[in-house]
Amino acid sequence: MYRVNMIKIFLAIMLCVLLRINISNADTFSVDGANGWGFNMNGWPNGKIFDVGDVVEFKYKIGMHNMVIVNKLGFDSCNATGGEVLSSGDDQVLVPKGTTYFICSIGDHCANGVKVAIIGK
Ligand SMILES: [Cu+2]
């Protein structure tokens, strides 16, 4: 009897592991494809809706740009105050539910289009 219960528990754990593998098929998307984070982003992501848990990757030359996660007001006004600043040159962000706003806070880059909003569902 004890042995049967152990087998049932083992099978239940294995089932959980398999289900987790099936639901965690997150994709990685590079901002503006091969062009990376910068000017002339061609409207990226062009209306695409991401899955929560997908990864958005911001690639750029260190020092040329940075990436700041801001709120809608910061996005609309290109104001990075209070935002989370990332500057590794290869910043990877997990897509949360809702809209997330990203801007570059160097010079007038944001006003010149180095900004993007992504939607996760
Ligand atoms: Cu920039």
108: domain CATH number is 2.60.40.420
33 CA → ligand 1 middle, Å = 17
Domain that holds residue 73: 26-120
- DSSP H helices, 24-114, are 72-77
Sheet holding 84-86, edge to edge: 49-50, 115-120, 98-103, 67-70, 84-86
Position 88 pLDDT exceeds 80:
yes
Residue 15 domain flag? no
Residues in the chain: 121
Residue 3 domain flag? no
35 CA → ligand 1 middle, Å = 14
Residue 34 has a pLDDT of: 86
26 CA → ligand 1 middle, Å = 28
Position 12 pLDDT exceeds 60:
yes
106 CA → ligand 1 middle, Å = 5
| 11-33: burial string, b at 16+ Cβ within 10 Å, e else | eeeeeeeeeeeeeeeeeebbbbe
Position 5 pLDDT exceeds 60:
yes
Residue 17 domain flag? no
pLDDT average, residue stretch 61-81? 98
Position 21 pLDDT exceeds 60:
no
Residue 14 has a pLDDT of: 63
Residue 55 has a pLDDT of: 97
